[in-house]
Chains A and B, each alone.
Chain A
Amino acid sequence: DGGITQSPKYLFRKEGQNVTLSCEQNLNHDAMYWYRQDPGQGLRLIYYSQIVNDFQKGDIAEGYSVSREKKESFPLTVTSAQKNPTAFYLCASIPRQANYGYTFGSGTRLTVV
């Protein structure tokens, strides 16, 4: 079955630690996106990538980094510079230039402990 797989489902981060969230898709989609969701704030765009080896900052990129070495994979690293990382992180994908809605992964819930 085609889809987007995010892992882990739950992640706990200690202060000052970097953590990486995985996003893998087998839909052959070119474009991939990372969003963050906080209660009452909707989804906010962190980073996106339209092709391999290229990515752009979204609205809230500070404290995050990404890579796009393979078409199927778009991992997100939450660095220690992100002061308030506790949130629900969603990965999405779509064929490049397609004019329909995203397919979302099941999400990763990150908590700072």
Chain B
Amino acid sequence: QKEVEQNSGPLSVPEGAIASLNCTYSDRVSQSFFWYRQYSGKSPELIMSIYSNGDKEDGRFTAQLNKASQYVSLLIRDSQPSDSATYLCAVRSGTGGGNKLTFGTGTQLKVEL
């Protein structure tokens, strides 16, 4: 069983629509959750962090966390063509050392004109 799962996509949305990206994780003691955006050929860029249940908003991005159901999601409002990228979900466990992040395989988002 994969520790962090994402639908690989591609997820296609029209410009101006809301894009919804989902991620589930298996380690119940996970404490910290992150969303990275990665353009083709580039390194990942951190766009959102969330640590407690509920919603966290930053501009057009909203991260949602539900620890009981072990899922975290990212909503992108008013999607733009520049949002077309792969979005990686990353999880930090509460156990073990090293402050390591475990990544999902990413969801490819395509925003169409």
User: Are the CB atoms of A90 and B105 closer together than 8 Å?
Assistant: no
Known A-B contacts A102-B46, A106-B43; A41 and B100 likewise in contact (beta carbons under 8 Å): no
**Contacting residues of chain B (42-65) with chain A, CB-CB under 8 angstroms:** 42-46, 49, 51
Known contacts A42-B103, A48-B100, A50-B98; 17 additional CB pairs below 8 A are A33-B100, A42-B104, A43-B88, A43-B103, A45-B100, A45-B102, A50-B97, A90-B43, A90-B44, A99-B32, A100-B32, A101-B34, A101-B49, A104-B43, A104-B45, A106-B43, A107-B42
**Contacting residues of chain A (55-113) with chain B, CB-CB under 8 angstroms:** 56, 58, 90, 94, 96-107
Shortest beta-carbon distance, A22 to chain B, in Å? 15
Instruction: Give the most central of A31, A42, A107: most B CB within 10 Å.
Output: A42
Q: Is B101 an interface residue (CB 8 A)?
A: yes
Q: Which residue of chain B has the shortest Cβ distance to A48 in the bound complex? A: B98
B100 cross-chain contacts in A, Cβ below 8 A = 33, 45, 48, 58
Total interface residues in chain B, CB < 8 Å = 26
B51 cross-chain contacts in A, Cβ below 8 A = 99
B residues whose Cβ falls under 8 Å from a Cβ of A:
4, 8, 31-32, 34, 36, 42-46, 49, 51, 88, 90, 92, 97-106
Shortest beta-carbon distance, A5 to chain B, in Å? 12
B101 cross-chain contacts in A, Cβ below 8 A = 101-102
User: Are the CB atoms of B44 and A104 closer together than 8 Å?
Assistant: yes
Shortest beta-carbon distance, A25 to chain B, in Å? 13
Q: How far is the CA of A56 from the CA of B34 in the complex (A)?
A: 23
Q: Is A40 an interface residue (CB 8 A)?
A: yes
A102 cross-chain contacts in B, Cβ below 8 A = 46, 101
B102 cross-chain contacts in A, Cβ below 8 A = 45
User: Are the CB atoms of A42 and B44 closer together than 8 Å?
Assistant: no
